[in-house]
Amino acid sequence: MTGLRLTVVCPTEIKGFQRLLGEFSDDGVAVIGASTDSFYSHQAWFADREIFPREITHPVLADTSHSVSRAFGVLKEDDGIAYRATVVVDPNGVVRSLAINDINVGRSPAGKEQSTLIWLRASGAHEALSVSRTIDV
């Protein structure tokens, strides 16, 4: 999950997951993004080729009701935005991994996505879980 879209960190992370989308898919893992921005905000943002030179093909949820952020315990209630988090959920809805960072703390664009993939492979989650969902909130 990501906070508000108008930060330099969000597109870097989204592009990082997009870059590794094939590897996640090969391991049977679906990547789903989420932010507390609106659908229309996402639509305009993803159409901006200066920010996203290539199309983003994995889904990014508009969590304007905050139900997803709240369900994973990553909503900063007083600001109505989500902390930066990566959640791995198995097909039964069980959270297998949850990493949360403060809103203003960037995560390594080259490292976080790769480390998520490495964790999935090392834990055997990509095989044992069949189709997992990695939700970057």
Q: List the catalytic residues.
A: 10
Residue type, 98: L
Domain spans of the chain? Answer: 9-136
pLDDT in the model for residue 96 = 86
* 20 SS3 class: coil
Q: Kindly report the three-state secondary structure assignment for every residue of 52-89.
A: CCCCCCCCEEECCCCHHHHHCCCEECCCCEECEEEEEE
pLDDT in the model for residue 2 = 54
Token code pair at residue 39:
């659908």
pLDDT in the model for residue 67 = 94
Fold for domain 9-136? Glutaredoxin (3.40.30)
Q: Cα separations (Å) of 127 from 41, 77, 91, 118?
A: 36, 36, 12, 13
One pLDDT digit (tens) per residue for the chain, 137 residues = 554 545 566 788 888 889 989 988 988 888 999 999 999 999 999 999 999 999 999 999 999 999 999 999 999 999 999 988 888 888 888 888 888 888 877 665 456 677 887 877 787 765 544 444 555 55
